[in-house]
Amino acid sequence: MRQEHQHYHADLEAVDDRRLNPSQAADLDSVINRSRRQVLKGGLALAAFGLFAGMLPGCQRSPGTPTAAPLMGFSGVAAQTSAKFDQVLVADGYTARPFFSWGDAVLDSAPAWLDDASQDWQAQLLQAGDNHDGMHFFPFEEAPNEHGLLVINHEYINPTLHTNGFTFTELDDGRRQRPVDQVRKEQAAHGVSVLEIRRDANGHWQRVPGSRLHRRISALTPMAIRGPLAGDPRMRTASDPSGTEILGTLNNCSMGVTPWGTYLTCEENFHNYFVNRNAVDHATRPTHQRYGIGQGQHSAYYAWESVDRRFDATPDPTQDHLGYVNEPHRFGWVVEIDPFDPDSKPIKRTAMGRLGRECAVVSLGDDGRMAVYSGDDARGEYVWKFVPDARHDLANPQASRNLLDSGTLYAARFDEDGTGRWLPLIWGENGLTPDNGFADQQDVLLNARGAADQLGATPMDRPEWVAVHPDSREVYVSLTNNHERGSRFPLDAANPRPDNQHGQIVRWREAGADPAAIHFEWDVFLLAGDQPGALDAAGQPLPDNLIGSVQGDIFSSPDGLAFDAAGRLWIQTDSDEQAAHTVNTGCNQLLCADPQTREVRRFLVGPRGAEITGITWTPDYRTLWINIQHPGISYPASDGHSRPRSTTLVITHDQGKVIGS
Ligand code: FEO
Ligand code: CA
Ligand code: CA
Ligand code: CA
Residue 444, helix vs strand vs coil: helix
Compute how many other C-beta atoms are within 10 angstroms of the C-beta atom of residue 224. 16
Check: CB of residue 390 under 8 Å from CB of residue 403. yes
Angle at 634 between CA 633 and CA 636, to 5 degrees: 140
Q: Indicate the pLDDT class of residue 318, thresholds 50, 70 and 90.
A: low
Task: Indicate whether residue 130 lines ligand 1 (CB < 6 A).
Answer: no
pLDDT of residue 635: 60
pLDDT of residue 322: 81
Q: Indicate the pLDDT class of residue 47, thresholds 50, 70 and 90.
A: very low
Q: What are phi and psi of 124, to 5 degrees?
A: -60, -30
- How large a percentage of the chain has pLDDT more than 70? 88
Q: Indicate the pLDDT class of residue 11, thresholds 50, 70 and 90.
A: very low
Instruction: Give the count of alpha carbons within 13 A of 516, CB side only.
Output: 15
Residue 316 has pLDDT above 90, yes or no: no
Instruction: Write down the H helix ranges in 42-149.
Output: 43-48, 121-124
Residue 190 has pLDDT above 60, yes or no: yes
393: CA distance to ligand 4 center in Å?
35
With b for 16 or more beta-carbon neighbours within 10 A and e for fewer, the 8-33 pattern comes to ebeebbeebbeeebeebeeebeebbe
Calculate the average pLDDT of the chain.
90
Residue 272, helix vs strand vs coil: helix
Distance in angstroms (rounded) separating the CA atoms of residues 466 and 478: 7
Residue 465 has pLDDT above 50, yes or no: yes
Give 54-98 pLDDT, tens digit per residue. Answer: 333 333 334 445 556 899 999 999 999 998 898 999 999 999 999
pLDDT of residue 296: 79
Give 552-576 pLDDT, tens digit per residue. Answer: 999 999 999 999 999 999 999 999 9
pLDDT of residue 31: 52
Q: What are phi and psi of 653, to 5 degrees?
A: -85, 140
Q: What are phi and psi of 354, to 5 degrees?
A: -105, 120
331: CA distance to ligand 1 center in Å?
15
Residue 487 has pLDDT above 60, yes or no: yes
Could you list which residues have their CB under 5 Å from ion ligand 4?
A: 559, 574
pLDDT of residue 633: 62
Give 405-458 pLDDT, tens digit per residue. Answer: 999 999 999 999 999 999 999 999 999 999 999 999 999 999 999 999 999 999
Of the ligands numbered here, which is closest to the C-alpha atom of 251?
1
Farthest CA pair distance, the chain: 72
pLDDT of residue 124: 98
pLDDT of residue 643: 77
pLDDT of residue 20: 37
226 Cβ partners below 8 Å, 6+ apart?
Answer: 347, 348, 349, 350, 351, 402, 405
Check: CB of residue 197 under 8 Å from CB of residue 138. no
pLDDT of residue 137: 98
- For 115, 258, 303, the CA distances from 78, given in Å and listed in that order, are 32, 37, 41
- How large a percentage of the chain has pLDDT more than 90? 84
463: CA distance to ligand 3 center in Å?
9
Ligand 1 atom with minimal separation from the 480 CA: 2
Ligand 1 atom with minimal separation from the 253 CA: 1
15: CA distance to ligand 2 center in Å?
9
Distance in angstroms (rounded) separating the CA atoms of residues 271 and 15: 10
Residue 287 has pLDDT above 50, yes or no: yes
Distance in angstroms (rounded) separating the CA atoms of residues 44 and 166: 42
Distance in angstroms (rounded) separating the CA atoms of residues 92 and 658: 14
Give 367-377 pLDDT, tens digit per residue. Answer: 999 999 999 99
**Closest to 550 in 3D by CA, of 520, 517, 589:** 589
Angle at 318 between CA 316 and CA 319, to 5 degrees: 75
Task: Indicate whether residue 376 lines ligand 1 (CB < 6 A).
Answer: no
DSSP 660: T
501: CA distance to ligand 1 center in Å?
16
Task: Indicate whether residue 253 lines ligand 1 (CB < 6 A).
Answer: yes
| Pairwise pLDDT comparison (244 vs 48), residue with the higher score | 244
462: CA distance to ligand 4 center in Å?
8
Residue 8 has pLDDT above 70, yes or no: no
Check: CB of residue 282 under 8 Å from CB of residue 289. yes
Task: Indicate whether residue 464 lines ligand 1 (CB < 6 A).
Answer: yes
pLDDT of residue 320: 57
Residue 613 has pLDDT above 60, yes or no: yes
Ligand 1 atom with minimal separation from the 375 CA: 2
Task: Indicate whether residue 611 lines ligand 1 (CB < 6 A).
Answer: no
Least confident segment among 12-21, 205-214, 268-277, 389-398: 12-21
Ligand 1 atom with minimal separation from the 133 CA: 1
Q: Which of 69-73, 127-131, 173-177 has the highest mean pLDDT?
A: 127-131
Q: Indicate the pLDDT class of residue 319, thresholds 50, 70 and 90.
A: low
DSSP 124: H
DSSP 560: E
Check: CB of residue 382 under 8 Å from CB of residue 296. no
Give 514-532 pLDDT, tens digit per residue. Answer: 999 999 999 999 999 999 9
Please tell me the pTM assigned to this model.
0.92
